Structure 1
């Protein structure tokens, strides 16, 4: 599970932390930024109550990602790079859980 002190609950903190880190992280491209923006959109709509429970098809629609394979690759990379904690749900009724993580930037 995710340590409580590593979870971001503030939208602005998540947005600014990610954008500052994205400038210096050569691994991130437009798809990562677009998907993170979609995650922030749903997080904000959920009134910033984490974790975010969301379906991949909704994130894909907002991030303008049309391929399931691309979506899974990008969300797993955001998880692996430490920007989010992603817990996929294989249940068609329950959404996957996404935690926004504190981002260390210089």
Structure 2
């Protein structure tokens, strides 16, 4: 089976990072799925409700905290939208595909 570099890169990066918990991983996996659905291109436009559902997160506060921490820790670049009708923008650090 061929390895999936974006997934492998993320898990290698978090291996020694004690700040990362299961909620961060769950959100990152949901973001990775959106990246995959988007054809593997960065940045990814996301909807909070879709990411929360995929990550099995019910509290908006938890979502916001973890998204901001993933950004702060350098795993993603996150530009939240202040307008609910405009999607937020996320760049996943470990999802750069060489063409």
- Same topology, TM > 0.5: yes
**Partner of 1:49: helix, strand, or coil?**
coil
With the length of structure 2 as denominator, give the TM-score of the two structures: 0.87
Q: Tell me, in whole angstroms, the C-alpha distance in 2 between the residues paired with 1:29 and 1:102.
A: 18
- What SS does the aligned partner of 1:85 have? strand
In 1, the alpha carbon distance for the partners of 2:82 and 2:62 equals: 18
* Structure 1 residue runs of 4 or more that deviate by more than 2 Å after TM superposition: none
Alpha-carbon shift at residue 13 of structure 1 (Å): 3.0
Residue of structure 2 in register with 1:19 after alignment: 11
Q: Distance in 2 between matches of 1:46 and 1:93?
A: 19
Choose which of 50, 64, 75 in structure 2 pairs with 1:58. 50
User: Displacement of 1:102 after TM fit?
Assistant: 4.3
Distance 2:94 2:62 in 1: 25
Q: Which one of 8, 27, 37 corresponds to residue 35 of structure 1?
A: 27
Out of 75, 91, 97, the position equivalent to 1:99 is 91
Any stretches of 5+ residues in structure 1 without a counterpart? 1-11
TM-score (norm 1): 0.82
SS of the aligned residue for 2:18 comes to coil
Structure 1 residue 14 displacement after superposition:
2.4
Provide the rounded CA distance (Å) in 2 between the counterparts of 1:61 and 1:102. Answer: 22
